[in-house]
Chains A and B, each alone.
Chain A
Amino acid sequence: MIELQGITRVYAPSGRPPVHALSDVSLRIERGEFVAVVGTSGSGKSTLMSIFGLLARPTSGRYLFDGHDVTTLSVEEQARFRNKRVGFVFQGLHLLPRTSALENVELPLLYSERTAIDGLGSKALAAVGLTDRMQHTPAELSGGQQQRVAIARALVNEPDIVLADEPTGNLDPRSALEVMSLFRELNRQGHTIVIVTHDMAMAGHAKRVARIENGRIVADRTTTPARERASEAR
């Protein structure tokens, strides 16, 4: 479904040597997959995520989405693409303060072309198990609940793919596990999910793990069914 072909992303801060955040990365992800991209900080995994989500443009290379090169889209077409096709769970969550969980979740609908949007927000919140917290503001929610609001927001517009950048980064181990099993559950319901993490244990929840180092994919393997069953049983 999505395919990166020779993606390179170079940051060129003024007065300093350019940094190759991504060098010639090629990666193919099919519908229904659950992929974890693992790497240490500075390995380029967040940059990879931004490019998947069209939040940044690659310096060179092609990004095919259902066979169409989306790097050539205009700025406004990219905005529409992000709205329709991608659900992004940001690393810093970026929930609007003093705004109810429901309104936060409905934010992408504000910019959607869809007309029938009633009930989508509460449906997405139900999917992450927060039906009873819809009117709470982020400050009134725990870290794990906030993360789930962010996931609900990513789901609300029924995207083709859900991208999550370090979704367990700031969570205690129990909430982290809850969030990961939520992803697994969403994947089982048919959502295509890509997460980025530095935590191998979290990556183990995915069906496929790609390791990134210094801007290059160095390993890419599908986890064994046994491992999946083992983590399922926990």
Chain B
Amino acid sequence: MNAIRLVRHSIRAISRYKQRSAFIMLGSFVGTAALTLVVAVGAGAERKMLSTVRQLFGVSSIIVMAGGAHLMGPPRANAARLTLDDIEAIASDVSAVEIWDPQQALPEASVRYEGRTATARVLGQSERAERAWQRTVTRGVFIDETAVRASARVALIGETTARELFGDGDPIGQEILVGNVPLRIVGILEPFGTDLHGMDRDDEVVVPISTMMRRLMNVDTIILAKILVRDPSQVEGAVRDITRVLRERHGIPAGRPDDFTLVSPITVQKMVARTERILKLYLPLVAAIALLVATIVAAALMLASVNERVGEIGLRRAVGARVEDVLLQFVVETSATMLSGGLLGVIAGSVAAEAIAARLHLGQLLPWRAALLGIVVSIITGILAGVLPARRAARLDPVEALR
């Protein structure tokens, strides 16, 4: 039939009104771009968060932190005492514990090598950190039990710090200074990237926990310990037992709050769920509002354009167009306009998301569902704002539409 002729004619009509079509396109462009961008970044952030969480807390790990009732951020200044003895007591009393690793930290320490200085986070850990945190060395050797027992002056160094101090040179066997304490580098830490807070975790120096406590900080407390239980099913029981042991040792009377915090996969799950809610609900909501505003603008423009074209519709009807011919034309015109705007929006949104993802070290994946949604919403808006008024005009007596 003549439908193909009519479709070709409609497509040509779009290019005749470049400015008008461009503005309408802009509406679906902005909406789709915003939706694509936000959902892409949101999904990337979510994936990053989940992978980091998985990295930090396996399904069978518990973290004991000094100080009560906080989850994120550094420990408080005068947090209650958490000692190696506490953790050793837990390890001997709670049968589910398979492995434990204490930690003490200097968040920002000056590390020097010959003339150069770098600022790094210095962590004191045990030889078991390699298993507890699933982070090993790419070169050299990890801290061993002897070094921990002897408070040996040895260190592992992260890639960023290594680059800052040694450039392309080989750090292994070299001696660095943390404060005034000379430490010999025995291994290069496996790269980690940035963590959830955007902190570069390759900007680190790891020393034996004993060296940290005695030689670098002169403290007898630790800030946290990571405990792995034998089986994920034992986590809940272990949390209960650890709480009992620590409350007893710290002499906390019933009814008083804990002076330590336990982070288990269960609490992490809750935290992740809360964050996920934000990522999954509020971000798309913001994007949906952007889409809505953009499509309303496109709809208004389209409505105005159809009202201008009532005469043209009357003409088409007068020379023999059926109502459905007019509808076909407007459906083709609006869909093509909205579709091309939407596709450009998806491209722009993805490119922007890519740029943001690259900065934040998020993974990147085209959120095709959001993109599709943006395009579909644009087209539906186009149909409502463009095709319905056109249908109304097409149903008039041609003489009225021509006036």
Which of A's residues lie within 8 Å of B, judged by CB? 50, 53, 55-57, 75-76, 79-80, 82-84, 88, 90, 92, 94, 96-99, 107-108, 110-113, 153, 157
Contacts and interface: CB of A to CB of B under 8 A. Distances in A.
Given A111-B2, A112-B2, A98 B319 contact: no
B402 A55 contact: yes
Given A55-B398, A94-B402, A110 B311 contact: no
A83 B316 CA distance: 10
Chain B contact residues: over half helix, strand or loop, or mixed? helix
A111 B397 contact: no
A84 B141 CA distance: 92
B320 A112 contact: yes
A234 B311 CA distance: 38
Given A55-B399, A98-B17, A111 B325 contact: yes
Interface string B286-320: 00000000000000000000000001101111111
Given A94-B315, A96-B315, A113-B2, 13 more contacts: A56-B398, A79-B322, A79-B323, A80-B320, A80-B322, A82-B317, A83-B319, A88-B318, A92-B402, A94-B402, A98-B17, A112-B2, A157-B320
A96 B312 contact: yes
B285 interface: no
B292 to A, nearest CB: 33
B9 interface: yes
A125 B317 CA distance: 22
A28 B312 CA distance: 31
B16 A99 contact: yes
B330 to A, nearest CB: 14
A218 B315 CA distance: 31
A82 B17 contact: no
Contacts of A84: 320
Contacts of A153: 319
25 contacts: A53-B318, A55-B397, A56-B397, A56-B398, A76-B323, A79-B321, A79-B323, A82-B318, A83-B319, A83-B320, A83-B321, A90-B315, A90-B402, A94-B311, A94-B312, A94-B314, A94-B402, A96-B312, A108-B319, A108-B320, A110-B6, A111-B2, A111-B6, A112-B320, A153-B319
B349 to A, nearest CB: 32
B269 to A, nearest CB: 62
**Top 10 A-B pairs, shortest CB-CB distance:** A83-B320, A55-B399, A108-B319, A111-B320, A56-B399, A55-B398, A50-B399, A94-B315, A98-B16, A111-B321
Contacts, number: 75
A55 B323 CA distance: 14
A50 B322 CA distance: 18
B323 A90 contact: no
Interface residues of B, number: 25
B16 A82 contact: no
Contacts of B399: 50, 55-56
A110 B317 contact: no
A111 B319 contact: yes
Given A55-B318, A82-B320, A90-B318, A110 B2 contact: yes
Interface string B338-381: 00000000000000000000000000000000000000000000
A110 B318 contact: no
Contacts of A82: 317-320, 398
Contact of B5 (A94, A97, A110): A110
Contacts of A96: 312, 315
Interface string B384-398: 000000000001011
B276 to A, nearest CB: 52
B133 to A, nearest CB: 69
Interface string B5-17: 1100100000011
Nearest to A156: B319
Contacts of B395: 75
